[in-house]
Structure 1
Amino acid sequence: MILSTRQITGNLTKIMTGALFTLSSLLISSCSTKETPIPESASLMMVNTSPTPATYNSYVNNSPANQGAIPFGGALPYLRVGTGDLSIKFTTASSTESLITKKVYTENNRAYSLFLIGKDDKLDYLVIKDEITQAPKEKALIRFINLSPDAGALDLGIKDGAILISDKAYKVNSAFIEVEAKTQTLQIKDKATGLMKSELVDAEIKAGGIYTILSIGMMAPTGLEQKAVAKLITN
């Protein structure tokens, strides 16, 4: 199964820069006679990996988060949100009735990725704190997350080359690792058999870029379930 390398752009580098700017602003204001309070905020990306043709709308504290319904594999770039317990709701594209509503806790100047997983009455969230200290200038950072419900452990590697990230079970993510910045074909393989399950052909990995590679969909789909594919998201 081949998936085009259309990149969904986030702004994690800008978020990191913004956090440093906020710290500088706090230091400056603390030295002045008149302090200006800076509201706390976090950043949240949301991705639909529920393996069905359904499209969804999302809400943060009852405020719409998206302009168009989110399809399978679709993502919302990082949104600036408040801190503390946030109410995150998903509905169908044609209704405001909740399919799933759960609290998600966020901290000041932190970035998070929320993945909608499962289907029907078993929809759920997988929330990951995006832990990055600094983006490399001459290389790139990637991580791999296995979000294919019926897959065994999966590896991510370079076609005809090395395994980059190994042995990730369902709902398990790797840390970000440094890789060469170049166009290359990346493959997701079954850990036990070594068989390729999906690939990203000519994935453009740019210097200074931060990327998440996902395995989403079903290895053995039935009915209207979506077949397993690889997905490249730019954080």
Structure 2
Amino acid sequence: MKILKNKFSIFNLAGIAALSAVLFFSSCSDDDDNPTTPDQQTNVKVINGVYDSPDLVVKLNGTQVGPKALAFKNSTDYTAVGAVKSEVTLTVTDQSANKEILASTLSVAPKTNSSVYIVPQTATSAVSTLLIADDFTAPAAGKAKVRLVNLSPDAGSVDLFLNGKAVPSATGIAFKTASPFVEVDPTATANFELRQTGTDNVLVALPNAAVQDGEFTTLWAQGQRTIASATPLGLGKIVNKTK
């Protein structure tokens, strides 16, 4: 009887080992279904600059961003998405027509921040994207940072002025281009102006736009300069990061 007991114990141990192996491989299989780790994720903000289209449904890696479609001038929060092989897929659908108007693969590095502007179509190009890396290197003490993005197809090359002074490096910004973030003095009553490059001609202004200490702010040209346009040229403001 004693020998039989020992044999029974051996068989029990073998069964437990087999079951443990099954559970281990099952766990590995579950991990394979979701291979993205925090080190492989990137943060993406999407901004709708398409002035002549209804609200847009935006998806990153197949998942809709935000609970509602994205209206013109609006932006999403930064969304953490997987960037396996440093790529993120973007699809944009016209909500009213239920028609996809844009599909793009974004080259973004993991553990970074990026802004993706949906660029309006022109006479020579379809709806497209402008991908900008958001460099959040902290400004000097007592400073803020601003940049300029031009998404107006007929505004021409533009300069950004703050309280009557040109913002360094935010000059000569053509359609579908952007300046880097540059340091400015924070102010509670910032008056931004968008001027034709090299002139005093003010195309549009954004008064009383506070710029806080340590803040990262994007000013962006939107809409059309054409006088009869239903979506006239405007200057939008996005706070990308606070102190």
TM-score bracket, shorter-length normalisation: 0.7 to 0.9
Aligned to 2:193: 187
Structure 1 residue 214: Cα displacement: 0.3
* Alignment RMSD (CA, Å): 1.9
Change (3 A) 1:57 1:38: closer
Partner of 1:88: 90
State which structure, 1 or 2, has the greater radius of gyration over its C-alpha atoms. 2
Q: Which residue of 1 aligns with 2:135?
A: 131
For residues 140-219 of structure 1, what are the structure 2 equivalents within 5 Å? 140-159=144-163, 161-164=164-167, 165-183=170-188, 184-219=190-225
Higher helix share: 2
Tell me what 2:115 maps to: 113
Shift of residue 89, structure 1, vs aligned partner: 0.5
What's the counterpart of residue 122 of structure 1?
126
| Secondary structure of the structure 2 residue equivalent to 1:144 | strand
Q: In 2, Cα distance between the equivalents of 1:206 and 1:223? A: 33
Q: How far apart are residue 173 of structure 1 and its match? A: 0.9
Q: Distance in 1 between matches of 2:63 and 2:165?
A: 45
Q: Provide structure 1 residue ranges, at least 5 long, that are not aligned to the other structure.
A: 1-36
Q: Deviations over 1:42-96 (max 9, x none)?
A: 1101000112252111001211112122111100011111112221001122465
TM-score normalised by structure 1 residue count: 0.78
In terms of fraction of residues, the more strand-rich structure is 1
Q: Among the aligned pairs, what percent are the same residue? A: 21
Number of residue equivalences: 197
Q: Distance in 2 between matches of 1:94 and 1:199?
A: 32
Q: Quote how far apart the aligned CAs of 1:207 are.
A: 0.4
> Is 1:69 aligned to 2:74, yes or no?
no
The CA deviation string for residues 17-46 of structure 1, in whole angstroms up to 9 with x for no partner, is xxxxxxxxxxxxxxxxxxxx7542111010
Find the aligned partners of 1:222 and 1:87 in 2 and give their Cα distance.
Answer: 36
Q: Deviations over 1:173-218 (max 9, x none)?
A: 1111111111211110111442111111101100010011101111
Which has the bigger relative contact order, CA under 8 A and spacing at least 6? 1
Counterpart check, 1:231 vs 2:236? yes
Contact 1:135/1:208 (8 A) holds in 2? yes
CA distance in 2, matches of 1:154, 1:223: 19
Tell which deviates more after alignment, 61-70 or 37-46: 37-46
5 Å-filtered alignment, 1:28-47, equals: 38-47=38-47
Give me the whole-angstrom Cα distance separating, in 1, the residues matched to 2:212 and 2:160.
Answer: 18
1:120-168 alpha-carbon deviations (Å, 9 max, x no partner)? 8711011111123224442111011111101211010024x21112111
Provide the TM-score with structure 2 as the length reference. 0.75
2:39 and 2:134 mapped to 1: Cα distance? 21
For 2:178 and 2:89, the matched residues in 1 are separated by 24
